[in-house]
Amino acid sequence: MTNSATMPQPVSLGRRLKRFMADRPLIPLIILLVILVLILQVLRPGIVNERWIANTAKFAIPLAILAGCQTMTMLTGGIDLSVGTVATMSAFIMATQIVNQDPTVAFILAMLPAVLIGLVNGVGVGVFRVHPLIMTLGTSLIGTGFLQVYQRTVIASGAKIPDFLNWLGTGLTYGFPNALFLFVPVAVLIVFTLNRTGFGRLLYAVGDNERAARLSGVRYWQVITALYVISSLLAGITGLLYIGLIKAPSLSLAEPLVLPSVAAAVIGGTSIFGGRGGYMGTIVGALILTVLTTLLTILHMPEGGRRILFGFIVLFVTAAYLRIIEDR
């Protein structure tokens, strides 16, 4: 147990800098983001313009919301691997139901599997104490299976992307992507929930020391069930946004976002063991990953090489970042 309360002796500049970074973990992340953008600008002068920024934001937003699901679940020491399937299901059901149904009905039908999967995840983790990794992986596979069955029933009716989602996914207002209309309120809500509500407190407390939370009267299963339902709902909404962006409903629409969403939360400084982290860092983490992807794309590397490099960079960045912010 360190007792840093009683050590006012002079410290070196490096140590002071470290302490500064540890107190404001967002700063090194933002520095890294800026460096990546600068590298991009050097490699391709002129690429960083208004259009590029709007485009980057458009692709970063779905990733950032899904990473929000990971942030919240990781704060409790969990993880939600079903977000990809949930997002895909919502998107696919929306796109197929909108053909014959009223938009409201289609929306409700689209969100139904999200709530259901979230509930099952929450009960499995919170009541039956299944490990979140296994639980959400399981429901994710089951969900994908159901989606395949469902696909056969709607093959004849076809699919279309509702205009509103089109507008939300790809439209611009005064040069700003419309997705921000969804993302800003969602982000504010998540940050507010984590920092200023009782529920947010409990997420941190449960993840830090479940026993202490229990002794303070916290009922673990309630917190966890609510958490996974919220996580799934967010994933479902992300699915709707994502289909507006990608415009091609498929059975693996949002699946490629799952692991990057975990990576974004980890890069953003959220501890996978729980109790530590926040959403602001995650947002920057999602931006870093998106810019990194662009950077690797313009290098004209073969796909394999790109992935190898991507993996190494994620590993390196995370390790370095944790070194910087853990002031021990």
Partner 1 sequence: MTTNELPNNTLLDATGVAKNYGAVSALRDASLSVLPGEVHALMGANGAGKSTLVKILTGAIPADAGRILIRGEARDVRSPAAARRAGLLPVYQEPALIPDLDVLCNLRLTGTPVEPFRAWVRELGIPNLDIRETARDIPLAVLRVLDLARALAVEPDVLLLDEMTAALPANLAEKVLEVVRRQGDSGRSVIFISHRFVEISALCDRATVLRDGATVGVVDIEPGVEEKIVEMMLGARIEKTSVAAARTASEAPVVKDSHPRLSVRNLQLGTKLHDVSFDLANGEVAGVVALEGQGQDELFAALAGSIRPAGGTIAVDGAPVKFFHPSDAIQAGLAYVPGDRTEALAMQRSVRENIALPFSAALRKWGPIKVRREHMVVSSAIARLQIDTRAQGEVQRLSGGNQQKVTIARWIAADARTILCFDPTRGIDVGTKQEIYKLLRELAGLGKSVLFYTSELEEVQRVCDRVIVIFGGRVVDTFPVELADEPALMRAAYGLPRGARADVGILADVRPTSDAETAP
**Residues in the site for partner 1, rule: CB under 8 A?**
1-6, 192, 196-199, 201-202, 204-205, 208-209, 211-219, 222, 226, 275-276
Least distance (Å) from partner 1 to the CB of residue 17?
18
CA triple 201-75-199, angle to 5 deg: 25
Q: State which residue, 163 or 326, has the beta carbon closest to partner 1.
A: 326
CB of 132 to partner 1, least distance (A): 19
Which whole-number Å values give the CA distances from 125 to 75, 105, 199, 223, in the listed order?
Answer: 14, 30, 17, 11
Candidates 259, 280, 254; CA nearest to 114 is 254
- Greatest alpha-carbon pair distance for the chain in Å reads 75
The CB-of-204 to partner 1 minimum distance in angstroms stands at 6
Minimum distance of partner 1 from residue 280's CB (angstroms)? 17
Cβ nearer to partner 1, comparing 198 with 302: 198
When the beta carbons of 44 and 201 are compared against partner 1, the nearer one is: 201
Closest to partner 1 by CB, 173 vs 216, is 216
Which helix (H) or strand (E) segment holds residue 6: the answer is none
Distance (Å, whole) CA 122 – CA 229: 7
- Residue number with CB closer to partner 1 (173 or 197): 197
Q: What is the nearest approach in angstroms of partner 1 to the Cβ of residue 74?
A: 14
CB of 236 to partner 1, least distance (A): 21
In the Cβ-directed half-sphere of 273, how many Cα atoms lie within 13 Å?
A: 2
Taking the C-alpha atoms of residue 125 and residue 118, their distance in angstroms, rounded to an integer, is 10
Q: Residue 5's Cα: distance from chain center in Å?
A: 36
b/e burial code for range 260-289 (CB count within 10 A of at least 16 → b): bbbbbbbbbbbbeebbbbbbbbbbbbbbbb
Q: Based on CB atoms, which residue is closest to partner 1, 200 or 239? A: 200
Contact 90, 236 (CB under 8 A): yes
Min CB(232)–partner 1 separation in Å: 18
Q: CB nearer to partner 1: give 56 or 225.
A: 225
For residue 173, what is the enclosing H or E element? Answer: strand 172-173
